[in-house]
Homo-oligomer: A and B are copies of this chain.
Amino acid sequence: MEGSQPKSQVKPRAASLTRDPERTRAAILRAATAEITAKGLTGARVDAIAARAGVNKRMLYHYFGDKQGLYLAVLEHTYAAIRAAEIGLNLTELDAAAGMRRLVLFTWQYFIDHPEFLSLLATENMNRAAYLKTSKQIRTLHAPLVGMIEVLLKRGAAEKVFRAGIDPIELYISIAALGFFYMSNRHTLSTIFGENLSAPERLARRGEHIVEVILAFLKPTKS
């Protein structure tokens, strides 16, 4: 352990000193995501991002132009990540109700696992979606869950286990809302109610609650 290896000193510090644009770019993006989602766009400091990434500040400007360009890259990267995860969801083997349950729980779990996505959306909505509107990339990334919901609704209606005439976008918003609000506002809610809403058992309970609410809404009225 304490011995030095005089033999193979060809590139002892190569891994960290060798130039590697992709790694540097990725490190900046990671650091920026952490800093911006923790402090917001205006609260984030470019010096802090550079320090966190372990790169010279100049590199942020080299790769991303300016702070706003970096923010846009973070936004696009984060949206691309959730879209990719959504596309990985396969519901074809399940019946309509089980498929809907899986879709709802998938969404809920994604929010639990990716608080940075919630923070970033909050930040971008404070900006009135100004950056999102400029991103052609994100606007071509259609939300696949809406399409999946549409299919489930049709199948469910055919199987007579769901009501007909439900708007998939309205439903998608509700599924997202029930999880998003709980997670994104967990700090104020926990304070107001004097309960720790982030406790694992509380999160599991919330997931079941959301499923119940959505399935109750979809259930045909026996009249």
Contacts and interface: CB of A to CB of B under 8 A. Distances in A.
Contacts of A213: 174, 213-214, 217
A140 to B, nearest CB: 11
Interface string A156-192: 0000000000010110011011101110111111111
A210 B171 CA distance: 10
A122 B127 CA distance: 12
A157 to B, nearest CB: 16
Interface in A109-125: 119, 121-125
Nearest to A188: B129
A123 B126 contact: yes
Residues of A contacting B: mostly: helix
B191 A139 contact: yes
A186 B195 CA distance: 29
Contacts of A4: none
B177 A180 contact: yes
Given A126-B40, A213-B213, A185 B190 contact: no
Contacts of A209: 167, 170, 174
Contact of A39 (B42, B170, B187, B210): B42
A174 B82 CA distance: 23
A210 B174 CA distance: 8
A129 B121 CA distance: 18
Nearest to A128: B187
A143 B192 contact: yes
A196 B201 CA distance: 38
Interface in A19-57: 39-43
Interface of A: 39-43, 119, 121-129, 132-133, 138-139, 143, 167, 169-170, 173-174, 176-178, 180-182, 184-193, 195, 205-206, 209-210, 212-214, 216-217, 219, 222
Enumerate the 6 nearest inter-chain pairs by beta-carbon distance, A residue then B residue, closest first. A177-B181, A129-B187, A42-B43, A42-B42, A216-B217, A216-B216
